[in-house]
Amino acid sequence: MPNIDLLAMHKLFLENHIKKGGVVADFTMGNGHDTAWLANAVGEEGHVYAFDIQEQAVENTRARLTEAGLIDRCTLICDSHANALSYIHEPICAGVFNLGYLPGGDHTKTTLHESTKIAVEAAISLVDRDGIILVAVYPGHAEGTVEGEMLDEMLAGLDHYRFSVSRLRIINSPTCPFFFAIERH
């Protein structure tokens, strides 16, 4: 039986909204895999803002982007994604969140529902028409479960005339990652 690759599906959703020359945001840069993918997707004229609170994440991402020749189209920010509006002052065509902890890092340092709520609200305020915000949730740890429940409640209240919100989840595996897609009309 084939496994569903949620992160591959993440990219399929993004491809329908990212434009060459567009501005995008990676609200949880981690080791820079999504940041690099986004930088390739927007092309030479586009720009990526990427956030993480851990200096190690910024260093890992900078090395990955430099090696790939993509660093010039990226702004790496060592700060909470909750402060996104202090850095991004233009509409974005896409935004990505991979909640949880830095892969290969300290698993006690995770995203927190309080700052995630602020960051997702900021992302929604920045997303342009025909843009998308994707939020991957990892309910395999206590804070991930809280984040997922908070987002479910928060996103259900968005104006359906302005946004379409979907949740993609494997329902018979409660600790499996899932994601929300917030598309602006």
- Nearest CA to 32 out of 75, 11, 1, 61 is that of 61
- pLDDT number for residue 3: 67
pTM: 0.95
Q: pLDDT digit string (tens) for 109-158?
A: 888 899 999 999 999 999 999 999 999 999 988 899 999 999 999 999 99
Is-contact 152 167, C-beta < 8 A? yes
Where do the H-state alpha helices sit in 16-112? 33-42, 55-68
pLDDT less than 50: residues of the chain? 1-2
Task: Supply the DSSP symbol for 125.
Answer: H
Cα gap 151→153, rounded to integer Å: 5
Cα gap 53→30, rounded to integer Å: 9
